A and B are shown apart, each in its own frame.
Chain A
Amino acid sequence: MIRIIVSLLVVCHAGLALPEESAREIVQRADDKFRGKTSRSEMTMTISRPNWSRTVAMKSWSKGRDYALVLITAPAKEKGQAFLKRQNEMWQWVPAIDRMIKIPPSMMSQSWMGSDFTNDDLLKESSILLDYSHEKTGLETIRGYSCHKIELTPLPDAAVVWGKILLWIEEQDYLQIRAEFFDEESELVHTENFYDIRPMGDRTIPTRMEIIPAGKPGHSTTLLIDAIEYNTSIDDAFFSQQNMKRVR
């Protein structure tokens, strides 16, 4: 309840503050742009470690903030595994053992598919819009892009893992260029960089995202968007446990 009131207050406040764009609006526009109403995409994830690297290919579907489905298409050993997110719940389908596994909250901070992403990153249970207060801290130029630097501080009763998030969002097109995630002791946990901004589907977005955990030299995970289609119609029923087993 408190969270709703707080977010309502934030919204109202943002509304009053026009014409100057609020930090929250900037974050919202960037988030909307990247997410779309629905999306269908094909992606490749490369996990890099000091002595090895491996690549996982996947297809992904999403609808709004509540529904997402990810299907692994390569390597052969992992092909057919699917992850489903519905609201706050997440399941994994493992065809090799014919099992549907519910991923419990305790495993949210575990690595996803051995990468530097956590299950929580995939689920995005916490919302960078609703669970944080947003504050503009000026303009900064990152790799030639003039960006709004925005500091996100978690709301007092929000169930989030981060102590602070810094976002750099490009001024003109609301593209996220960089994000830094800090823990409760204000220590950097990981950095996300967004590259290769080009037209994809009906919009221009960064098509390569790299996540670098702090203090682990040689570790990184890169996510490459090979193709993406925004705002096609996807039925809610598509995001079902039955469909996880069927989807190709």
Chain B
Amino acid sequence: MRTLLKLAWRNLWRNARRTLITMASIFLAILLALIMRSWQLGSYRKMVRDVVRSYSGYVQIHRRGYWDNKTLEYSFIMADSLSLLLQQRAGVAGVIPRLESFALASGAEQTKGIMVVGIDPAAEHKLTALAGRITKGRYLSPDEPEVLVAERLAEFLRVTVDDTLVLLSQGYHGISAAGKYSICGLAHFASPQLNNQLVYIPLPVCQLFFSAENRLTSLAIDLEDPQKTAEVTAALRQRLPEADYEVMPWDDMQVELVQQIESDNAGGLIMLGILYVIVTFGIFGTLTMMIHERRREFGVMLAVGLRKSRLLTMLTIETAIMSALAIVLGSLASMPIIWHYTIHPPRFSGELAKAIENFGMEPVLPFLFESSVFIHQAWTVLILTALAAAWPLASVLKLRVVKALHG
């Protein structure tokens, strides 16, 4: 076996150019597959992060029935015990209280149906970085009767900072809700849906407006590790009485996003599949050529008494060394590229950027630098190489010594 190993290693460098060509095809395969996949997975991760971080949070708690019937009648009382119970859960980074409902908002002339969200300004900022979205004016203070208005909505209503916004709605138990609030700031949201209809208002002011003292419609939960969404959801479900509360992870709330990712991922996998096929045939081609070139050599070895099975083992070792080396080198080569683009994601510009922004996303191409991507792709390419090598290598077994010697 040691001799075979030594032979294989020497064989590889006896014709270094041939070896390097074969390795190059594997190297390129792993490089391309890694970059492509880390970009795809990175953009999904980012889409989720953007959507979750822009509004919903990774997990939300509501009174049972609220999600299907989003009215104030399905609000609940925020008990200290509940808040404590949530804060103490492992993995929970923050509990963000909200009271949401709809209202008519009116500036001087225009009126529009909008969404009113009562928030705890500090807690909300931790989850959604809301204060960072302000384009004009300043952020909300905890209980001043002021509102923060989405930019496009303000444009539509023709109001700006320090103007008065009139809100009209129906509160808890159908009590009429009407109020005048000074606009303290305007905020920009990537999602047009949010940018056209969001009005933030401090929670106590919102509760007073809707006559829903001490009530909330939802608790958004921020997680320490977003990958643990399912675990925390399950743990919370176990702790909260099922008849009273519903605990929803982001993928239950953002069904459209999940579907969008799934369909995009299917397309991405097809692209990846095509890449794999091309690469497999490339490897197949170079290996077939190599075997063909070395027929005479094999013939000599067989003629001097090498058993075919040993010959096959030697060739397998050669291929294994080549592919392992190429995969390692390819992964190493991809790392700085992926790392670079993870930190400085490429940005779109011009019309395309606008189109992407209209879909509610930042116009960047984010990459994902994660060991799972590397491991996954390394295994895939290794298996593909094995498949591509199987037939050319097996053909050695059918070699006729005399014919091979005569070339």
A residues near B (Cβ < 8 Å) are 47, 49, 52, 54, 75, 77-78, 81, 94, 96-99, 101, 111, 113-115
Contact = CB atoms under 8 A, between A and B. Distances in A.
A1 B170 CA distance: 40
B176 A113 contact: yes
Contacts of B168: 94, 97, 99, 101
A229 B170 CA distance: 32
Interface string B148-170: 00000000000000000011101
B99 to A, nearest CB: 17
A111 B176 CA distance: 11
Interface residues of B, number: 14
Is chain B's interface secondary structure helix, strand, loop, or mixed overall? strand
B173 A49 contact: yes
A115 B175 CA distance: 10
B179 interface: yes
13 contacts: A52-B173, A78-B175, A81-B176, A96-B178, A96-B179, A99-B106, A99-B168, A101-B168, A111-B174, A113-B174, A114-B173, A114-B175, A115-B174
Is chain A's interface secondary structure helix, strand, loop, or mixed overall? mixed
A48 to B, nearest CB: 11
Contacts of B106: 99
Give me the 4 closest cross-chain CB pairs, A-B, nearest first.
A114-B174, A96-B178, A94-B178, A97-B166
B128 interface: no
B265 interface: no
B237 interface: no
B180 interface: yes
Interface string B23-56: 0000000000000000000000000000000000
B316 interface: no
Given A47-B174, A77-B176, A99-B106, 6 more contacts: A54-B174, A81-B176, A96-B180, A98-B180, A99-B168, A114-B175
B33 to A, nearest CB: 57
Contacts of B175: 54, 75, 77-78, 114
Nearest to A96: B178
Contacts of B179: 96-97
A98 B168 CA distance: 12
Contacts of A99: 106, 166, 168, 178
B41 to A, nearest CB: 47
B211 interface: yes
A77 to B, nearest CB: 6
A114 B178 contact: no
